[in-house]
Chain A
Amino acid sequence: MENLQSGDLTIEVAETDSLFRCTWKGKSNERNPPEILRPWFDKLLAAVGGKKGSIEMHFEKIEHFNSSTITALIRLIQTCRKAEIRLVMVYDQSLKWQRLSFDALRVFEKNDELFSLRFA
């Protein structure tokens, strides 16, 4: 699985024992982030699904993302759940903006443990 590099955004992927750790760096500030993220997410899900693996998305190092990026993340949560792929989002609780953005996503946590949020 290749890293994503687009504009000010980089997502680095490291695979260990079928766990795909994706580290977001820089800024997601494109006009239409889903246009860039969706095809990359599709490839990621295909790679993870092929190995019956899981995904950890790390946001501790991201400087900023716009609301269209949040829309793309909501869609990713839904897609992973449908595909029964476990997704964990890890964020920096000490940053107020990350705490607000990610705590709000807890509305998508269910008892199936397919989606969860974790502090760094």
Chain B
Amino acid sequence: MSSAPQSHPDEIGFSIDMTVRNEWRNVDLLRTSVQNCFTAVFADVDGCHAIAMVTGELLENALKYGDWVSGDRAMFRLRVNGMRNDVVEVSVQNPLRRDDTNAQALLSAIESINSYPTPEAAYRARMLQIAQNDDEDADLSRLGLVRIAFEGNCRLSAKIEDNTVTVIASLDLRGA
């Protein structure tokens, strides 16, 4: 008689895929929910905090730059999936105006972050830029993206299709 295969504890997978209402208070509701869910799966509290921070920053960006007037609100989606002690992918999709310049700014910002030798170097450079530009609108500082890269130890990417933009942050939890 053969025994049933047993999964190794490190092979525990998880997946969240949901449509989100475009209300600001949902950012914190989802951020804390994600943190609590993953704390239930992981022993790594710092890793759970990083996943939650990344989720919060991506949702904030989507609410700030998405098209909430004419866009399809059903296209506001949060997805988190991965394996324990592996790479976790957090992605947020939001509707976009056809002629939206924010999308190009977003792609440029990600390209710029990825061009630095380290996320830390990109973060420090952005902080110094903010310090030098007193008049810059905090809403447009885009510090969130570079914070995701640095504090979340993430690789960022984005894709634009069918009047939506999806920002994807890949967190490497291996060896965390």
Contacts and interface: CB of A to CB of B under 8 A. Distances in A.
Contacts of A51: none
B76 interface: no
B131 A74 contact: yes
Interface in A34-54: 34
Interface in B102-155: 120, 123-124, 127-128, 130-131, 134, 138-139, 141, 143-144, 147, 150-151
Interface residues on B, range: 20 to 34
Contacts of B130: 71, 74-75
A34 B140 CA distance: 12
B50 A97 contact: yes
B92 to A, nearest CB: 15
B141 A67 contact: yes
User: Does more than half of chain B's interface fall in helix, strand or loop, or is it mixed?
Assistant: helix
B31 interface: yes
Contacts of A64: 31, 52-53, 56
Nearest to A78: B131
Nearest to B124: A107
B46 interface: yes
Interface string B28-49: 1001000000000000001001
B28 A8 contact: yes
A67 B147 contact: yes
Given A27-B28, A29-B27, A97 B138 contact: no
A32 B151 CA distance: 21
A101 interface: yes
B34 to A, nearest CB: 12
Given A27-B28, A31-B24, A104 B141 contact: no
Contacts of A107: 124, 127-128
B124 A33 contact: no
B28 A104 contact: no
A68 B131 contact: no
B159 interface: no
B127 A105 contact: yes
A104 B150 CA distance: 10
Nearest to A82: B134
A50 B64 CA distance: 38
Given A64-B56, A71-B141, A71-B143, 9 more contacts: A29-B28, A29-B31, A64-B31, A67-B57, A68-B60, A95-B46, A97-B151, A100-B150, A105-B127
